[in-house]
Amino acid sequence: MMKLKGAEILINCLLEQGVDTIFGYPGGTVLDIYDALYRNGKIKHILTAHEQGAAHAADGYARATGKVGVCFATSGPGATNLVTGIATAFMDSVPMVAITGNVGLNMLGRDSFQEIDIAGITIPITKHNYIVKDVSELADVIRQAFYIANSGRKGPVLIDILKNVQIAECEYEPQKPYALKSFDIDAEKVRRTAEIINAAAKPVIIAGGGVISAGASPYLKELAAKLNAPVAYTLMGKGAISDRDPLCIGMLGMHGTFTAAKAIMASDTIIALGSRFSDRVALNRDLFANGKKVIHIDIDNAEFDKNVKTTVRVLASVDRYIKEVLPLLAPKSGEWMDEVQTFEEGEKLKVDTSIMAYKILKKACAAAPKDSPVVADVGQHQMWAAQFYSAERPRQFLTSGGLGTMGYSMGGAIGAHFGTGKLVTVVVGDGCFNMNMNELSTAVTNDVPLVILLMNNSVLGMVRQWQKIFYERRFSQTTLNKKTDYVKFAESFGARGLRINSEEDIDGVLAEAYTYAEKNSAPVLVDCIISRDENVLPMIKPGQTYDTQLEKMED
Amino acid sequence: MDDIKKYTIGALVSNRSGVLTRISGLFARRGYNIESLTVCATEDPALSRMTIILKGDEYMLYQMIRQMDKLEDVKKIGCANELDCVYRELMLVKVKAGAAERNQIVQIAEIYKAKVVDLSKDSMVLEITGDPEKLDAFVAVVEPYGILEMQRTGVTVLARGTHTLKDRDCYGDHVN
């Protein structure tokens, strides 16, 4: 037992949890916390340009490593700047602990300078949150917060620590992190799923983000191999199975592959693993699984029957379920997979390999260090990255799926680098980049090796694509026409700037970019000039069924 | 959409400030239609008990219970089985009552086992306890005299017999 100040207890509790890196931004109500951090000296702190960048970095760190990401911000605007980052993590079930300071108890509720009810604001976007008013509660609150963030369906937790709590002293005794509880799995339901799977002639596996959260990729591979069943992944599930695996049929959903769409249509049984049938996957929730058996495995009870009606549901983590069900399954022949292969042959003719996005991303994927993380922002380039940039392993492909946060990638990539120590590829549009390009300075200052592929089409491409389809080409506010010279911009920030103007530049520039970034441990921005009329295809319109996949678009 | 029905949900929640905000916020944001909500103390000072009457279909019931169950502050939750429970609600009604009507109203009150808790020259306050249907019926009978104001506490529910919400291991089979 020792007597410590609240701020010191916080730092000690973070060390208990194995925290090695924090992303944040100091301010008036966290001065004591930053002082304790400074004096302790054991935790690396990355100062971002903006608190939103810190929240995305904590999220990127968590997605890339599976550990809980941590960010700090001061009260008031510091705290509200975290909100988009916390919501991003919440929608994609990313474990995160956000710590904010707030004014002291004697100032609370008086609309003091930089006072804001951040706990109230973040109720709908956190798993749980706390306002710590008494130093005696602090240590346990931090331990609980980490437990909640990392257990069950993972997600963000916010702790708002009043200034007086940071200063007050209290007895502190180190503790081990709470052990994660394992809960019972319903063996009868597992048996029923096995019966359905054994009777299925054409099962399709949907791998969602839950496969990655549960670390279930090796089991998924085993399951797919035993069933000889095709595996389609959702955007959040990209990397759950290697894109090069012969049983992998690519992404499922609005911009999913032709093969995955055909396979879903032809299947008789859907095995959804850690996936929530979002509207971007199920599209038409009533017709998606029409007449098919649906087996739904999820760790969140509230996901069952929320969007798509299931035949049997099992409440379990994906790894646990597969371990239980595998011995009950009979191996299947390759007949169904042979049929799926014919869809793949058909697909090869349909992919538009003429667009620059395809050429650049395919080559970037080959040029990037093996297994290095790639962070995609939100929009057309995100879908192209999901379609063309192969992921070999879980936690390699990171993107904001549920919330669709434009501006995620720079912070996310900085976090992914500090989590893995690896070079990170960023795929970002010019719209997104303009939202959080300030974090390029963070990458420069902290020697973060990034290759930023700025897919520069001078428009908000995805919105423009929708305006083409649904609004008779009335391009309301989607033409950016900025005069920004991104190469000069990068250089002025102290980063390297390169440009791809045409197809001939791709190989040379990419080679230079990756070599430079790796050798100098520094960010390189590659301004990739692409046409404003490259589209993301195929596409299924919202609410439509999988047989209405659009393969071409009039320009 | 399935048939719209009334469902009674009981929940043990931590007795802490902000819990009601978390729960009512959840209802608003997911569009659940709540007819009544009561929060009260329990035998355990760390826990409060909520009784919620939901107007909706089965889909909404299941979603609401499962979404509520995810909140850290919700410790136990279950849907009450109508036949196995005692429902009670308390109501205070202020009725316009001059000298001429007073006796008639007192007679009605006797039949319904309501109590007169205040009497003034032109009005009366009546207190009545019972299940919601009984209260509805009482309101219908005194309404012609003129209701000046009334307040209902909302429904509280306990299961008959020895089993308790605390002992339930899950929501009950029909939900899980």
- pLDDT at residue number B3: 83
Q: Determine the angle formed by the axes of helices A409-420 and A51-65, rounding to 10 degrees.
A: 50
Which sign, positive or negative, has the C-alpha torsion A387, A392, A394, A399?
negative
Residue A458, class by beta-carbon neighbours within 10 Å (0-12 exposed, 13-18 middle, 19+ buried)? middle
Please tell me which residue of chain A has the smallest CA distance to B176.
A301
pLDDT tens per residue, range A341-377? 999 988 888 888 999 999 999 999 999 999 999 999 9
Domain A187-350: what homologous superfamily? TPP-binding domain (3.40.50.1220)
Q: What are A335's two structure tokens? A: 């007949």
Widest distance between CA atoms in chain A: 72
Q: Average pLDDT of B120-140? A: 96
pLDDT over threshold 80, residue B81: no
Distances (CA, A) of A82 to A54, A351, B137: 8, 39, 53
| pLDDT-derived band at B169, boundaries 50, 70, 90 | low
Q: How far apart are CA B171 and CA B78, in angstroms?
A: 5
Beta-bridge partners for B125: B94, B118
Please tell me which residue of chain A has the smallest CA distance to B66.
A302
Widest distance between CA atoms in chain B: 58
Which sign, positive or negative, has the C-alpha torsion B106, B112, B118, B120?
negative
Higher pLDDT, B125 or B1: B125
- pLDDT at residue number A555: 60
CA of residue A410 relative to chain centroid, distance: 13
ipTM: 0.89
Distances (CA, A) of A519 to A449, A450, A511, A523: 9, 11, 12, 11
Read off φ and ψ for residue A329, nearest 5 degrees.
-100, 140
pLDDT over threshold 60, residue B171: no
Q: How far apart are CA B73 and CA B76, in angstroms?
A: 9
Q: Does any CB of chain A come closer than 8 Å to the CB of residue B55?
A: no
Q: How far apart are CA A210 and CA A299, in angstroms?
A: 8
Q: Which of B25, B59, B67 sits opposite A302 (nearest CB)?
A: B67
Q: How far apart are CA A528 and CA A538, in angstroms?
A: 23
Please indicate whether the domains covering A2-172 and A356-529 agree at the CATH topology level: yes
**What percentage of residues in chain B have a pLDDT greater than 90?**
76
Residues A61 and A69: beta-carbon distance below 8 Å? yes
Which chain B residues are closer than 8 Å to A119 by Cβ? 18
Q: How far apart are CA A75 and CA A57, in angstroms?
A: 19
| pLDDT-derived band at B83, boundaries 50, 70, 90 | confident
Q: Does any CB of chain A come closer than 8 Å to the CB of residue B59?
A: yes
Residue A48, class by beta-carbon neighbours within 10 Å (0-12 exposed, 13-18 middle, 19+ buried)? buried
Tally of CA atoms within 13 A in the half-sphere of A208 that contains its CB? 27
What's the gap in Å between the CA of B160 and the closest CA on chain A? 28
Beta strands in chain B (DSSP E): 5-14, 34-41, 47-56, 74-79, 85-96, 115-119, 123-130, 147-152, 156-159
Can you name the CATH fold of A2-172? Rossmann fold (3.40.50)
pLDDT over threshold 80, residue A526: yes
Residues of A near B (CB-CB distance < 8 A)? 119-120, 123-124, 127-128, 131, 148, 153, 300-302, 304-306
Please tell me which residue of chain A has the smallest CA distance to B74.
A128
Q: What are A81's two structure tokens? A: 């700047």
Question: B63 and A306: CB-CB below 8 Å?
Answer: yes
- Give the domain ranges of chain A: 2-172, 187-350, 356-529
Three-state secondary structure call for residue B28: helix
- pLDDT at residue number A183: 83
pLDDT tens per residue, range B4-20? 898 999 999 999 989 99
Q: How far apart are CA A142 and CA A158, in angstroms?
A: 10
Which chain A residues are closer than 8 Å to B25 by Cβ? 123-124
Question: B63 and A127: CB-CB below 8 Å?
Answer: no
Q: How far apart are CA A280 and CA A298, in angstroms?
A: 18
Residues A248 and A241: beta-carbon distance below 8 Å? yes
Beta strands in A92-224 (DSSP E): 96-102, 128-132, 156-162, 169-172, 203-207
pLDDT over threshold 50, residue B174: no
Q: Average pLDDT of B96-110? A: 95
Three-state secondary structure call for residue A506: helix
Q: Where are the alpha helices (DSSP H) in chain B?
A: 19-30, 58-69, 99-111, 132-142
Domain A356-529: what homologous superfamily? Thiamin diphosphate (ThDP)-binding fold, Pyr/PP domains (3.40.50.970)
**What percentage of residues in chain A have a pLDDT greater than 70?**
100
Three-state secondary structure call for residue B90: strand
The candidate with the shortest Cα–Cα distance to B73, out of B15, B134, B157, is: B15
Q: Average pLDDT of B161-167? A: 85
- pLDDT at residue number B63: 93
Q: Average pLDDT of A230-234? A: 98
| pLDDT-derived band at A551, boundaries 50, 70, 90 | confident
Q: What are A28's two structure tokens? A: 């008036």
List all residues 6 or more positions away from B99 whose beta carbon is below 8 Å from its beta carbon: none
- pLDDT at residue number B176: 39
- pLDDT at residue number A541: 94
| pLDDT-derived band at B175, boundaries 50, 70, 90 | very low
Instruction: Give residue for tokens 């037992």.
Output: A1
| pLDDT-derived band at A176, boundaries 50, 70, 90 | very high
Question: B72 and A301: CB-CB below 8 Å?
Answer: no
Question: A302 and B70: CB-CB below 8 Å?
Answer: yes
- pLDDT at residue number B2: 66
Read off φ and ψ for residue B7, nearest 5 degrees.
-125, 145
Question: A301 and B69: CB-CB below 8 Å?
Answer: yes
Give me chain A's average pLDDT, please: 97
Which chain B residues are closer than 8 Å to A301 by Cβ? 66, 69-70, 176
Active site residues of A: 51, 113-114, 163, 462
pLDDT over threshold 90, residue A418: yes
Q: How far apart are CA A258 and CA A534, in angstroms?
A: 18
What's the gap in Å between the CA of A313 and the closest CA on chain B? 10
Question: B29 and A306: CB-CB below 8 Å?
Answer: no
Interface of B with A in 81-110 (CB under 8 A): none
Q: Find the distance separating the first CA and the last CA of chain A, reported in whole Å.
A: 71
Q: How far apart are CA A207 and CA A319, in angstroms?
A: 12
pLDDT over threshold 90, residue A47: yes
pLDDT over threshold 70, residue A483: yes
Q: How far apart are CA A407 and CA A441, in angstroms?
A: 15
- pLDDT at residue number B80: 83
